[in-house]
Each structure stands twice: as structure tokens, then as C-alpha cells.
Structure 1
Amino acid sequence: MSARNPETRNPVPSKPGTGRPAGEAATDGALSRLGIRFTVWAERWFPDAFIFVAIAVVIVALGALANGAPAMTVAKSFGDGFWSLIPFTMQMAFVTIGGYVVATAPPVQRLIDRLALVPKTGRGAVGFVAAATMLSSFLSWGLSLIFGGLLARALARRTELRMDYRAAGAAAYLGLGATWAMGLSSSAAQLQANPKSLPPSLLPITGVIPFSETIFLWQSMLIALILFVISIVIAYVSAPQPATAVTADDLGLDVSRDKPDESRPQQPSEWLEHSPILTLLLVIIAGGWLYQEFARQSWITAISNLNTYNLLFLTLGLLLHWRPRNFLASVAKAVPATAGVLIQFPLYAAISAMLTNAKNAGGTSVSDVITHAFVALNTTGSFPISMGVYSAVLGFFVPSGGGKWLLEAPYVMQAANELQVHLGWAVMIYNAAEALPNLINPFWMLPLLGILGLKARDIVGFSFLQLIIHLPVVLFLLWALAFTLTYHPPVMP
């Protein structure tokens, strides 16, 4: 999980006078060379994720001041918003901890190790990681993040592959950057399908929109399939050949598998630490709550609740590790990976608060200004593209699928009603576009980066390559497929 010597990472040497990494072979295609160049640029110029979010805070604060909000109002919005996502911050930290605890349990490690035997080449390994993480993202974005990272680590242990660890890390991120919002854990689709989850003020505008009108539309599944195929092809083709690949070992990273503690208790006080008795009792108690959660609702709805998801993974991890001592050792190794989450998520919450709560004397916020411009400039034909671009740009500053939907939905869905755009398709426009900025936004990268032992700058070159290809494809499909759907007024529960 951590670098053997993080302060002296091995640099990628360059050919004199070319700026190309040493050993860059003619067999590397154009996309591979472009991905390498983006990565070299990012390694030099892309700031640490904390610097990135700090700059964003300053920009949004200046925007609020320029809009006429008093300085003290901006400061109050920052402070009030800073702590508003603490429950979500802890949930995200436990996504990392729970996923890591399960994935490092001996039975799961054996499964991941077997999967890691499938690829025969380094580039094939990168494509395999991309496929695995996107498939798992259709079920759960949290699962894809952890599973993809640990699969990349397992493949990195096969040193004979000469797999580029940076490209594999970017591939492990594709579930969050390409497909998650088109799957079962789509926050916006989940909110719209469950009327009790929607604010009372939003329900009359949108009505209840079931999955059959969002993620299970054939148009939605077509976009998901196209993105799945394109992403794998880009990941494979852009991955450097063995001669130019930068492996985990080249980066000075330790990707060895954690070994369970097989020692025996030496003191009476250690007996319970090594005994599975408490493990079984805790699993029974937690299992009783989980049973009730899954019994009272569909499993899709249950697993999409982060509290349920996290407790399920922690309980499963406890059971798979069997002995409390091994479970606690795994948790201790997972905690450092949450450092970025704990310090940066509150800053993103503050950004969201300044966008919406820092208002001028007329009661107008930066978000309101954007809203009025959005509605005034749209037509039925331009709606899919303009909403897609808007959702992608706003998602870069407010990276929260569900929370941002509650901010955006009141005006974009009202515009959809006025312009008679299919309401379920408006949700999917949001979903497909909202995922795009994830490809270069360090916000969601943090749990994965902690597992991989990498920095955002290490993988963003390859993920940016995905973005510049995804963007026109997604916008075109959102626009073209909109003409195959017919508007229906909101359906109330």
C-alpha cells in the first residue's frame, strides 16, 4: 500500500534531446505515446489533490464575492459547509477500509490472485483491470473502486508481465469515471425511483421515475455498452509496451500481499484476540440487522445505502479474517489510505455550500446565476448537450452524484418539463455527463490512490486520455438518442 521510499521515487529516464522516456519503442502506438506524454506533463505540473481542492475553494470564494455576497457571508458558508459532509466523509473512509479488509482476507486474496493469472501480457493486464472494474461498477461503485485497485496490485506482483502500474491504476478508476452512474448504484436514478428519498419540493417537478425509465432504457444500456468497449480499447492501446512500462517496482512501491498473523497466543490476555468466538458473535448480531435491511426492500436499494454497504463489508471482512487479531491488523493497514478522504472531503463540502448559500443582497447565489443562464439559453434540441456540458463542469466543483443531483434537479428538470424532454432521459443525461469529470478529479481517486500507493498525477495522464475521447462520444449519444424518446408528464406516487 505504501512506497518503500516515497520521497525518492524512481524517475522515468528520458532519451537525450527527445523528451521521450528511455526505451520508448516504435511498437508503442500513438495513443500510448500520447498517454505517456500526458502522464509526464501531469507528473510535473498536476498538483497534489489537496492543492487542487484548496485552489478550487479560493476560486469559488472569489466567484461568490464577485457576485456581491458579503465577505463574512462567504466565510460563514465555508465554515458551515465544511462540516456538513462529515457522515459522508466517514462513509467514504469506511468504503476504503471495508473494501480493503475484505479484499485482503485470505479467501478473497486467493480469488484475486487467480484472476491475476488470466492476462498474458502487460497491456492485456491493463485491459483486464479496466473490464473488471467497470463490470463491478454496474453493481456498486464502491466495490469497483476497491476491487479494481487490489486487482491491479495483484497483477503488479507478476513482474514478468512488465505491466505499467500507472496505466493499470487509471484502468482501475474507470468504474468511477465511465460507467458507475449507468448502473444500479446510480445516485440520481435511485433517488428518483424512491419518492420517500426526494425533497417534497422536487417531487411535483419530477414525479417518480422508475429504473425502467432511466438505467434500464435500451438507450441507456447502449451508452453503457459503448463506453465499456471504448474504455477497454483505450486502456489496452494506450498502455505502454514492456520496454517503456513503468512498473510498481520502478516506482519503489511495495505491492506484496499482506500475510495473516499465524502466531499463537503467548499470554492469557491474547486468547480472545486469536479466538473466533467473538468474531462469530459479532457477525451474528450484525447479520441480524443486515437481514432486516434486505428483507424490507429490494437488494438493489439496500446495497446502494452506504451504511448497509459498509457494514456488510466490515462484517464479511471480520468473518473472512476469522480471528480478531488478523482483522484489526488489516484495518490498521487500510487506515492510512483514508488520509486524503478525511482532510479533503470537508473542503468539497465547503465549496458546495459557498456555491449555494453565499448570496448577495438580492438573495442570489452563484448557483442561481448559473441556473438562470442555463434555462434562458436552452431549446429542446440543445438541452441534452447543454445539460451534459453543464453537469460535467459543475461535477468538477461539486463531485457528489446524489447531493449534486438534489442541487441541480429543481431547475434542469423544470427546464425538461418546459421543453418537453423525456424526464428519465434527463436523469441519464445527468448520469452520463456527471461521471466524466471524475476521470480527472482527484476527489474520487483518493481511496483508490491510497490502496495503490500512487499520486493523482501518476494516473491522470491516462485517465485524461479517456476523457478527451469519452466527452464527444457521450455528448453525441445523449443528443442523438434523445430523439428516440417521447416526453411524459411527471407521474406522482
Structure 2
Amino acid sequence: MTTSTDARATKRGPILRIADATNSFVHRFLPDPYVIGALLIAVIFLWGIVATPTTPAQMMKYFGDGAWSLVGFAMQLSVVIVTSQALANTPPVARVLARVATVPKTPAQAALFVALFTAAISVLNWGVGFVAGVILAREISRRMTGAHFPLLAAAAYAGYTVWSGGLSSSIPLTLNTKGHPLEKMTGQVPLTETIFSPTNIAVVVAMAIAYALVARFMTPSKAEAVGLPPESPEAVASDEPEKKEGTFASMLEHSRVLSIGLGVLGLVWFVMSVATGGLNALNLNLVNLLILSLGLMLYKGVVPYLRAAEDAGRAIIPIVIIYPLYAAISSMITNSGLGEIMTQFFAGIANAQTLPVITFLTAGLINVFVPADGGHLVLQGPIFLELAQQFGADRGMVVTAMAMGANWTNLLQPFWALPLLAIARLGIRDIMGYCFVMLVAGGLVACLVFGIAPLIL
């Protein structure tokens, strides 16, 4: 007679069994992201000396010069975390999220829904999608019995990575801007060849569906589900006014006139920027201003807003400490010539039909070491776009492959996961097993689309 444990085991599909094995491996062997960064520093430092004419002194210079090159970007992401959590904990936003969170009815539906929802928002703007997905995952976990929060967070992260095929994709937008770095070679590449091309739309839809389906089939049983971590901020701001002293200073601190006035000021600038620049005007700074402004308008004074923001302060520590390592890694790879070595290797095995696939895979590999779209454009752009001209290949398809590959391996790279994990209050090991399975699925689907597209277009 089959025991209940055996019966439960037989119901576990192959995808869930792979996820279990991957999670087990990750929990045993994947170190903290700071350790990963430190190991990468050592590997890149030695590799640069051995594989290029770069001297140890030059590698040290590249390390030192690059270490603080991402300070501004780290500050932007820190603002994302602080302001988004403060906004999410206001009663009006909590009510909207509560309504959206009721759409999925089962934990499996929740995993699929979070991935698709995040992908849809991220295609419109990556900054909004980055925040919205994980907040929705948290809201669903708060309200649904049996929802597996680490999987929902991983599904949100996977859905977010398709932003590179959306309206805020930096590589296509850069190549469509007058005076871009490769203008002498390509001229301006219109968005009809990249973001709005059939290939781009197909690969974005295919990868989003792949992530959603894989997440759905990785959903564990309710008995195995893990809810919100104890330290997650589960309470939203109260509708009741705070008690305040009857002093003039206290009245100013809790004045809605001041907080709403500041919020309206930021909101007006946001509207003006979008009205004059369109959707292309949306960037991380503008999205941060929108989130900050809405938060100020929804709290009962400036000081209550600051108190809510303080709760998220601890979550930005990993970004402040770890990002200098990745900035140094990027500097050493770019300046030593290691990035060009990797790119030239893959370029040497490409032809007209395989060029988009090779571009996608090369971008994915480079992204593990240089997780920034600007770095891909500098390293890959001159070589692969020149090859597109030589082979008579579709340059827009090559640009699309470069942009999608540059974000595909974010599922393996903790650089972008850290801000999301800070909002979720999770560790990298909590989601990386699921992310790896979705990485494989998304890569296979993308390679299939990029492999077929040159034959039919």
C-alpha cells in the first residue's frame, strides 16, 4: 500500500523535482553575494594579467578607478527601495494591491499571475515593474494560504527581466538617439527595427509565458509553502491620525499642506517631463520622483512619511556595500580587454543565421561579469553590428538579441536581485534555485525564437 508521503512524491512533476534539486544545491553551495563578488574580483584580476598585456599595476588602477563609479546608481536603487516600501504601506495603495491580489485563486495561479503581471508592467517601464511585482507577491503571500513567497518573488524577478524588450530598453533607445557611440557605423536605428519589431515582440511574449508556466509548475504543496519572513513589514499605515504634541513644530511636522504641496510639486514635474518627452522620458530618476511624490501626498505629514521610510533603511545596506565590487569588476573587464576577448571568441563562430543566437548567448555571458547595458553596447556593439553588416543580417534583430541577452542572465547574477530581495526581505539562496530553472527555460525559448526568426523574416 502506498503511503501518503509516497503518494505526495509521485504527484511532484519533473519541473518541481528539478526545482527541488536546484534549491537543495543552491542552499548548500551558493555563498553570500558579497563572497561571490570577492571571488569574481580575484578571478578577473588574475585573468586580466594572464590573458591580456595588462600589468598588475594597471589592474589595480582599473580596480580603484572603477570601485566608486556606481555610487550614483546605488543611490538611485536605494531610493527605489525606501520610497516604494513607504508607498506600498499606505492605506490607498494597500487597498489597490489587495484587489489585484485577489485575481489568482490558488498558489499555482499566483505564481503564474505574478510573473505575467510583472512582465506586463516592466515592458511599459522597468523601474515601475521592478517595484510592483515584488510588492504584489508580498501582498498575495499575506492574504493567500499556501502561497510560497520565495517562488512568487522569483517569479516577479523573472517577469521583470523582460523589460529589456520594452519601452524603456536602454540599448535600443540609445541607438535611436542622435549622437550615440556607434552612430558612424549604424546611423540611428529606429525603434521599428528593435522594440516594435515582430522578433522583439515574439521573444518578449515567449519568455514571459515560459517564466510564468515554469513558475506555475514549480509551486510546492501548501504543506511545504513558505510565507512571508518574520521581519517583513506586514502592517500598513493606519488611517487614524497620529497623536501629536500641540506645539507649532509638531503641527508643521504633521501638516498635510506641506506634504501634499511637496508631492504636487514633484507630480507636476513628472507630468511635464512625460508630456514633453513621451514614454522615452521615463527613467529611474523620474520614476523615483513619482513614487516619492505619491508617498508624500498619501501620508499625514512629512514626519510620518519619514518614519515609514526609516523602516526600509536597513534593506539598502547590501547595495551600499556590494555594488562597489561590481563596479570594480566592470572597470577591470572593460579596460583590460577581457570583454573584447570574450566577444571576439563568440563572433568567430557566427554566421548570418546563427548571429542573433550567438549575440544573445554572448550578451548573457558578459552580463554575468558586467551587469550593465551600457557595457554591452560598448563591448558587443562594434563587433556584432559590424558582423551584421558583413553577413547581411537584420541589425535590429542583433540589437534585440543583445538587449534581451544582457538581462536574461540577471536570473543568475545577484547584482539586480539584491534591490528586489531587499524589498522582499529575502536572501539570495531563497530564490536562486527557482531563478536557475527559469533561466534555462527562458534561454531555450529565446534561442528558439532567434534561431527561427532569420529563416522566416
Tell me if TM exceeds 0.5: yes
Q: How far off its partner does 1:64 sit?
A: 0.7
- The reply on whether 1:214 has 2:194 as its aligned counterpart is yes
Instruction: Indicate how the Cα distance of structure 1 residues 64 and 453 shifts in structure 2: closer, same or farther if over 3 A, else same.
Output: same
**Distance across 2 between alignment mates of 1:227 and 1:267:** 57
Unaligned runs of 5+ in 2: none
Task: Write the deviation string for residues 211-263 of structure 1: whole angstroms up to 9, x where unpaired.
Answer: 21111112211222222222211111111121322333xx5454513334732
Query: Is contact 1:123–1:241 with CA below 8 Å preserved after alignment?
Result: no
CA distance in 2, matches of 1:267, 1:73: 62
Tell me the amino acid that sits aligned with residue 169 of structure 1. Answer: A
Matches of 1:75 and 1:61, distance apart in 2: 8
- Residue correspondence of structure 1 range 305-324 to structure 2 within 5 A: 305-324=283-302
Instruction: Show the counterpart of 1:144.
Output: 129
- What residue is the counterpart of 2:378 in the other structure? 406
Q: Shift in Å at residue 80 of structure 1?
A: 0.3
Secondary structure, counterpart of 1:157 in structure 2: helix
Q: SS in structure 2 opposite 1:297?
A: helix
1:423 Cα offset (Å): 1.4
| Contact 1:145/1:447, CA 8 A, preserved across alignment | no
Q: Secondary structure at the match of 1:263?
A: coil
The separation in 2 between residues aligned to 1:156 and 1:375, in whole angstroms, is: 45
Does the residue aligned with 1:173 lie in a helix, a strand or coil?
helix
Q: Match of 1:108, SS?
A: helix
Tell me what 1:264 maps to: 243
Give the 3-state SS of the residue equivalent to 2:446 in structure 1. Answer: helix
Partner Cα distance (1:147, 1:281) in 2: 25
Q: Using the TM superposition, give the Cα deviation of residue 308 of structure 1 relative to its aligned residue in structure 2, in angstroms.
A: 1.5
The aligned residue for residue 63 of structure 2 is: 78
Contact persistence 1:39–1:461 (CA under 8 A): yes
Quickly say closer, same or farther: Cα 1:118–1:264, change in 2 above 3 A. Answer: same
Report the equivalent of 2:262: 282
1:468 and 2:453 correspond = no
Q: Is the 8 A contact 2:267 2:294 kept in 1?
A: no
Q: What residue number does 2:339 align with?
A: 367
Highest RCO, 1 vs 2 (Cα 8 Å, sep ≥ 6):
1
1:330 aligns with 2:282: no
CA distance in 1, matches of 2:271, 2:361: 42
Q: 1:157 touches 1:255 (CA, 8 Å); kept in 2?
A: no
Cα distance change on mapping 1:255 and 1:316 into 2, 3 Å: closer
Structure 1 length normalisation: TM-score? 0.86
- The residue number in structure 2 matching 1:302 is 281
Cα deviation digits, residues 123-171 of structure 1 (max 9, x gap): 2222221121111111122222211111111112125x21112211111
C-alpha displacement at 1:175, in angstroms? 2.5
Residue of structure 1 in register with 2:205 after alignment:
225
Residue 193 of structure 1 is matched in structure 2 by: 176
Structure 2: which amino acid aligns with 1:271?
Answer: M
Q: Which of residues 329, 335, 343 in structure 1 aligns to 2:321? A: 343
| Conserved? CA contact 2:264–2:293, under 8 Å | no
Distance 1:462 1:232 in 2: 12
Q: How does 1:153-172 map to 2 (within 5 A)?
A: 153-158=138-143, 161-172=145-156
The AA in structure 1 aligned to 2:456 is T
Tell me, yes or no, if the aligned pair for 1:219 and 1:481 is still in contact at 8 Å.
yes
The correspondence of residues 171-190 of structure 1 with structure 2, limited to 5 A, is 171-177=155-161, 179-190=162-173
Are 1:36 and 2:16 matched, yes or no? no
- Give me the identity figure in percent: 30
What amino acid does structure 2 have at the position aligned with 1:36? D
Q: Which amino acid aligns with 1:222?
A: A
Q: Do the aligned residues in 1 keep the contact of 2:232 with 2:424 (CA within 8 Å)?
A: no
* 1:451 Cα deviation after fit: 1.4
User: How far, CA to CA, are the matches of 1:346 and 1:416 in structure 2?
Assistant: 35
Q: How many residue pairs were aligned?
A: 450
Identify, as 1 or 2, the structure richer in helix: 2
Encode CA deviations 1:409-452: one digit per residue, 9 max, x unaligned. 12221222222221111110112222221112111111111111
Alignment partners' CA distance in 2, 1:357 and 1:264: 57
Any gaps of 5 or more consecutive residues in structure 1? 1-20, 359-364, 486-493
Q: Mean Cα displacement is larger for which, 371-380 or 35-44?
A: 371-380
